[in-house]
Chains A and B, each alone.
Chain A
Amino acid sequence: MEVRGLQVGLKTGEPADLLRSINLTLGRGQVLGIVGESGSGKSLTCRAILGLLNTRSMRVSGSVQLNGQELMLLPEKNLRKIRGKEIGSIMQNPMNAFTPVHTIGSQFVETLRTHSQLSKGQAWQQAVHSLESVNLMEPDKILKRYPHQLSGGMLQRVMIAICLCLRPGLVIADEPTTALDAVNQLQVLRELERLKMECGTSILIVSHDLGVIAQMADEVAVMRKGEIVEHAGVHELFDAPRHAYTRMLLEARPRLGKEAKNAEGSKRQLSL
């Protein structure tokens, strides 16, 4: 995937007041992390890449290429075929990603059948297999349940199971673990890692947690106020952060007593 000069602005405002010339490159089987504080445009970048922004109120320009194919020029009909099949997405809030009025199974089967020529029975079988592979117990029961009957961590794993089935070349994970507790977070990261190893999928992972980035990413882009302020390999970034904001992110972890007092001075200087 290659993103060149992506710009987003409100129609009523400046042409590039939300995102300013974003450039990203992501090779096969690589993991690119995007970090930044809330409101820095991380999620907006993801949605712009997926073509999910409302073009009536937003002005989007630039180019997004996937395997040499320009996505910005494709009509909505073709884009729909690409979303899910070639670009999988995992959203922050799994509760909103499922319809509450249909069972998990019917939504799972529907997604599989729109992207392949499976019969309902075959699709169900495949769903059962992929739920097993993400370590969910009793997949048949889970498929018959409604989204509100599952916990956040389970739903997030169901989302990943759908991704696993379709074997997309690129997965966009927008804060996949923010809504989860630490134990579930590790589970979800484990599944993403497996997706990468088994299918050679590239992953674009957005997070404000540097722990997730340290664990997963090969390269990191740091965003602030709609711009990429630093772009480096993960080791390089953690060893020698160049931008002041990156240093602040690195220092922002819960501290114990004495350590906190030493750090206070440096934090005041940077002042959010």
Chain B
Amino acid sequence: MLKVQNVSYRYDSWNWWRPRSEESSVLRDVSLDLEGGCCLGLLGTSGAGKSTLGKVVLGLQRPNKGQILFEGQDLYASGGQLRQRIRREIQVVFQDCYSSVNPLMTAAQIIGEPLRNYERLSAGELRRCTGALLEKVGLSAGDGSKTPDEFSGGQLQRINIARAIALRPKLIVLDEPVSSLDRVHQSLILELLADLKSSLGVSYLFITHDIQAAMALCDRVAVMDRGEIVQMTDKPLSLWESESPTVRSLTEAVLPEHPSLRRSLS
């Protein structure tokens, strides 16, 4: 469904007096494949280029090299109407739930916005749709009249998810959706995402630095380090036994579940 082919991206601007440097490359020759109904995890420390790859896939940043194929069509070569249609199929949930909603809009308006943009619904239908979406993500239809400041972080993230699934997309890019939440809400949101995946058949590109979250949700995991994919596996659990130093540093950073398993920190 989604093919990322030899994508490179760098953030620096260059001109005649400031030549290009190779060091500032954020993505180097990254290639990925994602089938429908599958969850691909992108795992890595901060600065590994995970989020940049997410933005490139979303169509927000044109890569310097390589191409993104979504159902066989080049995302950046296609223009106008085609682009608009592809955009509808790829949605996103960001880490910072507060800044991804307009504080002046009500929850129903926020969730209804993509529907208003893409579908011609009457006011009654729109209300029914947003109500159903709210219930699908574990809130009540009555919450639709509240504004973002009346919700907690976990609830607001549910609203972001509801907005992302409103148009029944084929792919959702989840950019650290649970990192800013506390553990209780983290596991609840992960469960919600797993439920939605099986009921809607949507694919996820799940960007995270939390190896346990990745293992709980993903079918496949790609480990990134400094702009490159260092490991790709179909069995996320096999990462525990991985030899690669990048993966090792991630698995070793997992904190104990019980004080008797405490690690020595010297």
Q: Are the CB atoms of B216 and A254 closer together than 8 Å?
A: yes
Alpha-carbon distance between A189 and B263 when the two chains are bound, in angstroms: 11
Residues of B within 8 A of A84 (CB): none
Asked if B250 and A248 sit within 8 Å, CB to CB, the answer is: no
**Interface residues of B, count at CB 8 A:** 42
- Chain A residues closer than 8 Å to B213, beta-carbon distance: 254
The interface stretch among B75-83, B120-128, B142-150, B187-195 is B187-195
A214 is an interface residue with CB less than 8 A from chain B: yes
Asked whether B257 lies within 8 Å of A182 as measured between CB atoms, the reply is: no
Query: B257 → chain A, closest Cβ, in Å?
Result: 6
- Return the contact of A182 from the options B191, B210, B237, B263 (Cβ within 8 A): B210
Instruction: Tell me if B102 is interfacial: C-beta within 8 Å of chain A.
Output: no
If A151-B47, A272-B184 touch, whether A183 touches B258 (CB-CB below 8 Å) is: no
Contact B255 A183 (CB under 8 A): no
Q: Chain A at the B interface: mostly helix, strand, loop or mixed? A: helix
Residues A208 and B183 in contact, CB atoms below 8 Å apart: yes
A-chain residues with CB within 8 Å of residue B254 when the two chains form the complex: 182, 211
B250 and A182 contact, CB distance less than 8 A: yes
Is the CB of B249 closer than 8 A to any CB of chain A?
Answer: yes
Would you list which residues of chain A between 33 and 54 have a CB under 8 Å from chain B? Answer: 37-39
Which listed residue, A153, A208, A238, touches B258 by the CB 8 Å rule?
A: A238
Report whether B187 and A254 are in contact in the complex, using a CB–CB cutoff of 8 Å. yes
Residue of B nearest to A261 (CB): B191
For the residues of B in contact with A, the DSSP-based class is helix
Task: Flag if A184 contacts B46 (CB, 8 Å).
Answer: yes
Asked whether A249 is an interface residue with its Cβ less than 8 Å from the other chain, the reply is yes
Q: Is the CB of B46 within 8 A of A211?
A: no
Cβ contacts under 8 Å, B47 to chain A: 151
A238 touches B253 (CB 8 A): no
A197 to B213, CA, bound (A): 32
User: Which residue of the partner chain A has the closest CB to B48?
Assistant: A181
In this complex, how many residues of chain A approach chain B with their Cβ under 8 Å: the count is 41
Among residues of A, the one whose C-beta sits closest to the C-beta of B214 is A254
A211 B250 Cβ-Cβ under 8 A: no
Contacts of B45 in A (CB 8 A): 181-184
**Known contacts A182-B254, A183-B250; A254 and B190 CB within 8 A of each other:** yes
A266 to chain B, nearest CB (A): 12
Of chain B, the residue at the smallest CB distance from A236 is B259
B21 in the interface (beta carbon within 8 A): no
B262 within 8 A of A: yes
Q: Which residues of A contact B188 (CB under 8 A)?
A: 252, 267, 272
In this assembly, does A128 line the interface, its C-beta being within 8 Å of a C-beta of chain B? no
Contact B258 A214 (CB under 8 A): yes
**CB pair A186 B253 closer than 8 Å:** yes
CB < 8 Å: which of B209, B215, B257, B261 contacts A256? Answer: B215
Q: Which residue of A lies closest to B262 (CB)?
A: A215
- Chain A residue with the shortest CB-CB distance to B254: A182
Which residues on B are within 8 Å of A, measured CB to CB? 45-47, 152-153, 180-188, 190-191, 194, 209-213, 215-217, 237, 249-250, 252-263, 265-266
A residues with a Cβ closer than 8 A to B are 37-39, 151-153, 178, 180-186, 189-190, 193-194, 197, 208-212, 214-215, 217, 234-235, 238, 248-249, 252-256, 260, 264, 267, 272
What 7 pairs across the A-B complex have the smallest Cβ distances? A211-B255, A254-B216, A208-B182, A181-B209, A182-B253, A252-B184, A193-B265
